[in-house]
Structure 1
Amino acid sequence: MRIFLVLLVTLILSVAPIVPSSAADRGDRFALVIGNSKYPDAETPLKEPINDARDVADELKRDGFNVEIGENLTIDGTRKAFDRLYGKIKPGSVALIFFSGFGIQSNRQSYMIPVDAQIWIEPDVKRDGFSLETVLGEINNRGAGVKIALIDASRRNPFERRFRSFSAGLAPVIAPNGTLVMYSAALSSVVSDVGSDHSPFVQELLKEIRVPDLMAEETLNRTRVGVTRASRGAQVPWISSSLAEDFSFIPGARPSGSVVATLPPPNPEPPPLPPPPRYDPPPPRYDPPPQQPKVEVLPPPVDRPVEKDDSNSQLALADDPTIKSLTAKLNDNPDDQNALYRRGQVYASKGAYSLAIRDFDDSIRLNSKDVEAYNNRCWARAVIGDLQAALKDCNEALRLRPNFVDALDSRGLVNLKSGMTKNAIADFDAALKINPKLTSSLYGRGLAKRRNGAFAEGDIDITNAKAMDPDIVKEFSDYGVR
């Protein structure tokens, strides 16, 4: 009998699946959770990031992660937090990043933005932001076996419009093997805050993390389904995976190859999801916009917005920390062209367009080839209805930099407000050929087509633009275009 029992045990061990002990099973799990809500340049603090970060941190602690949580982190605070995470990582361990706040894509990379970032031109993004690709690369270099990034930063933010050369939302990440990345919305798309204390993305994520016996990829796929269904297709999260080993958020969950009891699904098969908002890029054919004469008689502006009084605006903005800092620089050196240009951008973002134009005037006086200043002055003049001068500025910007997408977009706005709908369509077509995701050109082209009598085509552009950026209607209304 004893021999029979030995043989039986040997036989069982020989056929039972062997689950190797991994760093994830041993508890080598490290997480950095960041929630940024108080951005001085935003009109109001974001409601969701702090609450979401705390809830995610609590859940990850229950799941065996060594968690550090950071709230409203500055550039220096973010750098130190990442350095501490890097220092904890051991070969084969699990490293997770959760970030909720503002993000920007620049040069085909996604950047997490600290609360004190000073972003006025595109190079500032790389200087003050933290590249997700760089962070994941460093974590990989430290030997982490499983790398996970959960990024809830697909929000329209106050930085993007400043340098007028951006793509909305986040960019695809080129990550090392063994990486699982999830964005709260599709690539190059943004979602508006719902005004609640928690984001739909995090609510669905936490619900799925708590389901036992799920591998991480399945957890995130179920999260994507939940968010898509809850938003009726308006928000579709993006996932990228190159995991080379099984991993579950709940320790001890069996990988898919293990022998486990097959349980019936907890709920019946869900109904098919509605398709995500369709975006059809502009047709490949491109006819350059016609050359416009240097002097053109334009009809009076339509729906010209009432600008804030200069003196009142200057007094109201005097205590703005960024304006105060730039004004101090200009008091020391009135010919600081960079400070003039940046202060002009801040004034324009606050609606003080005449003050912005004055700074752009001085910036151009100091550098007659400042193409960005010409473009921004064109845009500011277009908003207040000074259309003759705006057209001249945009033409000069395009002379200095042919096919400058931002100047094409700005000139399209000038032509739209001037009633030159065919010219507006040509400019917006040219801008969309360069950047098919430029929502302002897509929406502007839709309005121009409608005014030109092509109502069906215009409605398609407008619908696609609103799906990509729900705030685009208000933005054009602020420009005086309805």
Structure 2
Amino acid sequence: MTLRLLLLLGLIVPAVASVPCFAAADRVALVIGNAKYPDADAPLTEPVNDARDLADELKRDGFNVDVLENAGGEAMRHALDRLYGKIKPGTVALVFFSGYGIQSNRQSYLIPVDAQIWQEADVRRDGFSLETVLGEINGRGAGVKIALIDASRRNPYERRFRTASAGLAPVIAPTGTLVMYSAALSAVVSDSGRDHSLFVQELLKEIRVPDLSAEETLNHTRVGVTRASRNEQVPWISFSLAEDFTFVTGPAGNRPAGGAAETNVTPPPAPTPSPTQVVVAPPAPPPAPPMPSPAPSPVQKADTPPPAPAPTATPAPVPPAASNSPSPEPNVAPTSTQVALADDPTVKSLSAKIAANPDDVSALYRRGQVYASKGAYDLAIKDFDDTIRINPKDVEALNNRCWASTVIGELQTALRDCNEALRLRPNFVDALDSRGLLNLKSGANKNAIADFDAALKINPRLTSSLYGRGLARQRSGAAQEGALDIANAKAMDPNVVQEFESYGVR
């Protein structure tokens, strides 16, 4: 049920305001992937591939991107000068760096591949201070400043001087800035040895989701990395945006406006005695399942170990008419909603790509997401159908088709999709959550509890699974346990009741 957040927001907040649309010329980015450091025992495996994939995505989203690979100090200096020269008042400026970073005197430095570092003073001589870079970008008039830093690695220079601290330092950034590190302050993560980092994998998933504010995008990335790493890697974020911004251009949807006050987002707190009632640090939105990613690409196929066993019970076949409430019939002729969607700028852009290439699986999947988030489930399912036709093993599309089919009451079709998604990716939390809703709607309460239990073991903050389990427990006769689940879910997200009502579940 990974599209719920967009749908829920659409039900609650009327779309009365729009966010300024930043043209391609107003978005500039510098993307650096440094892997071949002569002082390291071996080249890093992740940075170059991560830089290439992120650069491609940013280009699709309207950024003028400069990409550097294995850059020395002179190349980084010239690239930064080019970036500064492109900035004019109101520009969105983004810097991504993957490689080695070092903190010195409570500042974080990005290290070029040809740095000669033997003592701490050399860090300040050869490295590039992130605070200085952000200050220069701000001084040129950039309206939104974004720094995404995947450099929380134990680097080969630290053993040469004892005064160095591990990991990266907090950033004192100007107003209108988003900064995200791939790990917590002063923490380090090892290069995985795979082709792509977990951080960039999750980041790309969220950047590709339309109508998410930048804060939501990065917060969902943080949650995804934290969950996938079993809390061993918790990214650090600092927000101080004074205006709203989305990576994927198009209608603003119903996003909450960004706040001007700076807030450092700390790692998720340890669970309280109630394992599912968790306080999440602001400005993160109420807990929700991560949004789905487009059709799998090499970035998204890393073999991360499943964090928890999936339930062994397989739901019984669902009767065709089984549902707790009437579901809308599929549209036969174009409705006013469909006509309005055809004029949606995001839909128009994606439809143009599909017209040029009917097998553009990324555009098909993204348009399906948009349709589903707007409640046009029949159109969404058609796009997911085409996505799966092109790639039958696309677990994200299978899960989303399962969820959309469940909402409109096509439960037998939904069950096949959810089961197939879980066969291809055991312990896929979003599919467990979707199948839990399916079982809840069909009256298979024990199976619903099993699915929601498995999902909550993976992500205790998954409010939809917590609320759904509460309903299933109450229907199974465990009134007290069900009431506790429901109360905890409502405390975490007061809108969860209306969300489930929109699915025909009360």
TM-score normalized by the length of structure 1 = 0.51
Is this contact kept in 2: 1:99–1:150, CA < 8 A? yes
- Structure with higher Rg: it is 1
Shift in CA distance, 196/65, structure 1 to aligned 2, threshold 3 Å: same
- The question of 1:271 aligning with 2:269 is answered no
Q: Deviations over 1:376-400 (max 9, x none)?
A: xxxxxxxxxxxxxxxxxxxxxxxxx
1:45 to 31, 35, 43: 43
1:55 to 39, 53, 74: 53
How much has 1:176 moved relative to structure 2? 0.2
2:179 to 167, 178, 181: 181
Shift in CA distance, 46/90, structure 1 to aligned 2, threshold 3 Å: same
Could you tell me which residue of structure 2 aligns to residue 244 of structure 1? 242
Shift in CA distance, 40/149, structure 1 to aligned 2, threshold 3 Å: same
Could you tell me which residue of structure 1 aligns to residue 83 of structure 2? 85
Q: Deviations over 1:197-217 (max 9, x none)?
A: 100110111011111111111
2:32 to 25, 31, 34: 34
Is this contact kept in 2: 1:96–1:149, CA < 8 A? yes
Distance 2:188 2:141 in 1: 33
Is this contact kept in 2: 1:232–1:274, CA < 8 A? no
How much has 1:16 moved relative to structure 2? 7.2
How much has 1:26 moved relative to structure 2? 6.2
Larger RCO (alpha carbons 8 Å, 6+ apart): 2
Q: Secondary structure at the match of 1:271?
A: helix
User: Where does 1:392-431 land on structure 2 (aligned, <5 Å)?
Assistant: none
Distance 2:24 2:74 in 1: 32
2:130 to 132, 138, 143: 132
User: Where does 1:278-293 land on structure 2 (aligned, <5 Å)?
Assistant: none
Could you tell me which residue of structure 2 aligns to residue 17 of structure 1? 16
Q: Secondary structure at the match of 2:31?
A: strand
- The question of 1:167 aligning with 2:184 is answered no
Q: Secondary structure at the match of 2:76?
A: helix
Distance 2:457 2:94 in 1: 31
How much has 1:61 moved relative to structure 2? 0.3
Is this contact kept in 1: 2:24–2:64, CA < 8 A? no
Amino acid at match of 1:21: P
Distance 2:172 2:53 in 1: 28
Shift in CA distance, 272/141, structure 1 to aligned 2, threshold 3 Å: farther
Could you tell me which residue of structure 1 aligns to residue 200 of structure 2? 202
User: Percent identity, aligned pairs only?
Assistant: 72
Could you tell me which residue of structure 1 aligns to residue 321 of structure 2? none
Shift in CA distance, 21/234, structure 1 to aligned 2, threshold 3 Å: closer
How much has 1:151 moved relative to structure 2? 0.2
Q: Secondary structure at the match of 1:52?
A: helix
Distance 1:170 1:272 in 2: 31
Q: Deviations over 1:441-465 (max 9, x none)?
A: xxxxxxxxxxxxxxxxxxxxxxxxx
User: Where does 1:83-482 land on structure 2 (aligned, <5 Å)?
Assistant: 83-254=81-252, 256-257=255-256, 267=430, 268=433, 271=456
Amino acid at match of 1:136: L
How much has 1:19 moved relative to structure 2? 2.5
Is this contact kept in 1: 2:19–2:244, CA < 8 A? no
Q: Deviations over 1:12-59 (max 9, x none)?
A: xxx97342535x256510000000001000010001000000000000
Q: Secondary structure at the match of 1:180?
A: strand
Is this contact kept in 1: 2:23–2:62, CA < 8 A? no
Is this contact kept in 2: 1:111–1:130, CA < 8 A? yes
Distance 2:166 2:457 in 1: 28
Distance 2:124 2:102 in 1: 10
How much has 1:253 moved relative to structure 2? 4.1
How much has 1:126 moved relative to structure 2? 0.6
Distance 1:30 1:67 in 2: 6
Could you tell me which residue of structure 2 aligns to residue 68 of structure 1? 66
Q: Secondary structure at the match of 1:220?
A: helix
Shift in CA distance, 20/41, structure 1 to aligned 2, threshold 3 Å: closer
Distance 1:44 1:169 in 2: 19
Distance 1:207 1:21 in 2: 24
Distance 2:223 2:99 in 1: 23
Q: Secondary structure at the match of 2:141?
A: coil
How much has 1:161 moved relative to structure 2? 1.3
Is this contact kept in 1: 2:108–2:171, CA < 8 A? yes
Is this contact kept in 2: 1:156–1:191, CA < 8 A? yes
Q: Secondary structure at the match of 1:245?
A: coil
Distance 2:215 2:232 in 1: 22
How many equivalent pairs are there? 260
Is this contact kept in 2: 1:228–1:273, CA < 8 A? no
Structure 1 regions of 5+ residues with no counterpart? 1-14, 276-482
Q: Secondary structure at the match of 2:245?
A: coil
How much has 1:243 moved relative to structure 2? 0.6
Distance 2:187 2:36 in 1: 22
Is this contact kept in 1: 2:101–2:110, CA < 8 A? yes
Distance 2:81 2:113 in 1: 18
Distance 1:62 1:188 in 2: 33
TM-score normalized by the length of structure 2 = 0.49
Q: Secondary structure at the match of 2:62?
A: coil
Distance 1:74 1:208 in 2: 31
How much has 1:64 moved relative to structure 2? 0.5
Amino acid at match of 2:144: V
Amino acid at match of 1:143: G
Distance 1:49 1:168 in 2: 19
Q: Secondary structure at the match of 1:104?
A: strand
How much has 1:166 moved relative to structure 2? 1.1
Shift in CA distance, 185/82, structure 1 to aligned 2, threshold 3 Å: same
Shift in CA distance, 221/257, structure 1 to aligned 2, threshold 3 Å: closer
